Amino acid sequence: MYNSISVDGLNALLWTLTAVGILLSVGRFAIRYASAGRFHLDDASHLLSVLLLVGLAAAYTHGFPYSARIASIGRKEEEAPPLTDPFYRHYLQLRLVVTLLVFMVLWSVKATFLIFYRLLFDVSQTFLRLWWVAVVLTFATFWVCIGSTFTLCGSASDLYDFRKCSSAKALHDIRTTYKYWCALNVGTDLIVMALPLYMLSGLQLRPTQKAILGGVFSLGLVVPIVDILRTVESLESGTFSGVALWSSLEVTIAVIVASLPLYRVLLTPKGRNIIRSRLSGERYNDVDGSPAETQRRFCDTPASPGKRSVSTYQGDLETQDSESSKYGGGVQQVPLAQLSR
């Protein structure tokens, strides 16, 4: 199925998707600045993932011919050079660089989502406790993956020894490592995705609003799905073109997906009006949709005791603690509300 995909075809797909990721990221930054007037920490994390993606695409482009030749040697379509040939060392060095960059891209995307969700739900102490658990697990799994990269062939000193890296024991260990890399990556993705979905259940929103937000928060589901498909391809057939295809799709789709949540602003008239008013230097009145110099305070539905009410236009959330309102606290402006100031 994948044998018809050439190295040039893989490079064309990789750089096309990378360009799409860059363009959507530029749009993401423009929307954030137009709606908020400044950037936030999740923008810095996303910028890091974009820069890492470009570096990874360059490493892939340089490494694809090496991987294709290794695959050809494995199929006995080409005579293997002697093990002292520098080709093997270069191949293993590129494999290390690519593997490290893949982890850096994927985990920087996780960090972008984690920071974004922190901005959204910072008002909830329950969320903050769960958020810190997710941060610790994500941080720990990242370093587990990074550390295990250096022991794929046994000890770290054997990392560039192709004879040991291609031994039966090493190949068995590599297959096992791929499995737990997939488990750690998919597991942390699901944990990160579960945070906002859990919070949605406690928000007083119309069903359509919950469905829209649930869809936005579930965009990241495509990344673990692609990772599972890539791992299955690596373990089952192990063809160069198949593994390269799914690897290229995974990292580029991860960056693309991380760009998309802010585009929800453009899907609502209020969101578009707010951006237009900010670009024209005016303030936006939530009630009648007209420019105003009043501070924005909006709530979709009256809150019942103990629950939060949320305004979800403009691609962000304003949260009101109903119990504080009950005791005279009024509307509580939380960090994400500042994204539109």
CA distances from 246 to 159, 169, 221, 223, 255 (A): 24, 26, 15, 11, 15
Task: Give the residue ranges of the chain where pLDDT is below 70.
Answer: 1-4, 238, 270-272, 274, 277-341
pLDDT at 1: 57
Over the stretch 158-204, which tens digit does the pLDDT of each residue have? Answer: 889 999 988 899 989 999 999 999 999 999 999 999 988 888 877 77
For 139-199, the three-class secondary structure string (H helix, E strand, C coil) is HHHHHHHHHHHCCCCCCHHHCCCHHHHCCHHHHHHHHHHHHHHHHHHHHHHHHHHHHHHHH
pLDDT at 280: 66
Pairwise CA distance, residues 116 & 259, whole Å: 11
pLDDT at 116: 92
Entry pTM = 0.80
pLDDT at 14: 95
